[in-house]
Chains A and B, each alone.
Chain A
């Protein structure tokens, strides 16, 4: 019980980060995380989760997020404009560096399934196997979502037009 709560606690910062990156709304993200934690803790005695606890928590968080999205669509609720992240100003960037504001906007335009996959891998550093498990998709599907997400970001940020890096080895 104590170990279980400790293990959950250790996952909270990452859950908050993923929820915030998905929703772009700090309150909504924390609401999702709270709901996720409450379910996990209530469920503890009833089901023995198989596999790593962190992946189980992420899977639950994603389900809640998707339910929330469905509900929002049904009710036609639009996100508040102030839900947009504060865009950090980027210094005159080094060549090849992507402006954060630009990638933030681009991320918003990705289809949800691609965004879920890319954030799990790129921000959470989740292994491909775990990410596929969390998303409930085969490994091949994960890779193609990742590929499409990266290509879309490239197109949306115009980063593809940058001067080619010369690789010298």
Chain B
């Protein structure tokens, strides 16, 4: 009954189809052809059977993990409740500080509910900062346009192009030194001018970037967000600049760094407590 050997044909059966057959992912249209092929090719049939035994062994090995009781710390409800209970302390502090500064500046700014468009602009800026980060941190020779050796020139140049007096924050307390910076084109539909990207690096070659644009009267919430590449971004805005800190460090470290950047870049008309 078996197909005679001289009739074996490679037909249209591909290696992909054999894997799909072994994994139960082959569509019905090809099933007949694959079965006939395997009947005619004992070597291949043995290999496919081996793949299936490998699958079975791996499932036996790891399958039971999925029926173990799940620890309470992995309950999404508990995590959501925990997060609602404590927003990051520095974010609250930042929001309060920005509020303070805006009032201190006497710009007639008043609290308003965030409009959708404001949120959208913030999201675009964060997106832009993340994209620029992902693009340039992997560069070695061309990571920055102007290196830290020319820091004075870098800061003056970026300040002129942004129309805001910015500084390159000193993050040595957090273990990071300035690599340098570059000018980036304006992001569409944000109403913002060009952006400045400052890059920092620590001793283990972790890099983070600070993305700054000029801002006018709008007030962006102090906020945090995450992208899909394991990157973390912290964003805020006051009436001088918007600033986004991007990196892939552990969360606590990112918060420390972001806080350092915030403290140094926030535009303060008066030292707090004296106004």
Contact surface of A with B, Cβ cutoff 8 Å: 5, 8-9, 12-14, 16-17, 20-21, 30, 33-34, 37-39, 41-43, 46-47, 56, 59-60, 63-64, 66-67, 74-75, 85, 88, 96-100, 103-104, 107, 118-119, 121-123, 127-128, 143, 146-147, 150, 153-154, 159-160, 162, 164-169
Cβ contact within 8 Å between A100 and B57: yes
Give the size category of B's interface with A.
35 or more
Give Cα distance in the complex from A169 to B3, angstroms.
8
B254 to chain A, nearest CB (A): 12
Q: Known: A96-B49, A121-B23, A167-B45. Is A30-B71 also a contact (CB below 8 A)?
A: yes
CB-based nearest A residue for B55:
A122
As a 0/1 sequence over residues 213 to 254 of chain B, the CB contacts with chain A under 8 angstroms (1 = contact) are: 000000000011111111000000000000000001000000
Query: Which of A9, A43, A47, A104 contacts B75, CB < 8 Å?
Result: A9
Can you give 13 A-B contacts (C-beta < 8 A)? Answer: A12-B76, A16-B65, A34-B73, A37-B76, A41-B80, A46-B123, A46-B225, A59-B228, A103-B57, A119-B62, A122-B58, A166-B42, A169-B39
Cβ contact within 8 Å between B45 and A165: yes
Give Cα distance in the complex from A74 to B20, angstroms.
38
Interface residues of A, dominant DSSP: helix
Q: Known: A97-B53, A167-B42. Is A8-B58 also a contact (CB below 8 A)?
A: no
Contact surface of B with A, Cβ cutoff 8 Å: 1-3, 15-16, 19-20, 23, 25, 35, 38-39, 42-43, 45-47, 49-51, 53-63, 65-68, 70-71, 73-77, 79-80, 83, 123, 204-205, 223-230, 248
Q: Known: A46-B123, A63-B228. Is A12-B19 also a contact (CB below 8 A)?
A: no
Cβ contact within 8 Å between B65 and A168: no
B131 to chain A, nearest CB (A): 14
Cβ contact within 8 Å between B45 and A150: no
Q: Known: A96-B49, A122-B23. Is A17-B62 also a contact (CB below 8 A)?
A: yes
B52 to chain A, nearest CB (A): 10
A-B contact number at CB 8 A: 151
Give Cα distance in the complex from A8 to B80, angstroms.
11
A41 to chain B, nearest CB (A): 5
Give Cα distance in the complex from A128 to B24, angstroms.
11
Give Cα distance in the complex from A103 to B51, angstroms.
12
Cβ contact within 8 Å between A127 and B42: no
Query: Which of B15, B61, B66 contacts A104, CB < 8 Å?
Result: B61
Q: Known: A16-B65, A107-B58. Is A8-B204 also a contact (CB below 8 A)?
A: no
Q: Give the residue among B56, B70, B227, B230 with the most A Cβ atoms within 10 A.
A: B230
Cβ contact within 8 Å between B229 and A164: no
Q: Known: A43-B226, A143-B19. Is A30-B74 also a contact (CB below 8 A)?
A: yes
Q: Known: A16-B68, A98-B53. Is A122-B59 also a contact (CB below 8 A)?
A: yes
Cβ contact within 8 Å between A98 and B54: yes
CB-based nearest B residue for A15:
B74
Give Cα distance in the complex from A107 to B66, angstroms.
19
Q: Known: A13-B70, A167-B45. Is A119-B58 also a contact (CB below 8 A)?
A: yes
Cβ contact within 8 Å between A63 and B229: yes
The 8 A-B pairs at the shortest CB distance, nearest first, are namely A63-B230, A13-B66, A17-B65, A8-B76, A122-B55, A5-B76, A98-B57, A17-B66
Cβ contact within 8 Å between A43 and B225: yes
Cβ contact within 8 Å between B23 and A164: no
Report chain A residues within 8 Å CB of B225.
43, 46-47
**New A-B contacts (5) at CB < 8 Å, excluding given A16-B74, A42-B226, A59-B228:** A13-B65, A21-B58, A34-B74, A165-B45, A167-B45
A33 to chain B, nearest CB (A): 6
Query: Which of A9, A96, A103, A169 contacts B58, CB < 8 Å?
Result: A103
Cβ contact within 8 Å between A150 and B76: no
B90 to chain A, nearest CB (A): 15
Q: Known: A74-B204, A167-B42. Is A14-B77 also a contact (CB below 8 A)?
A: no
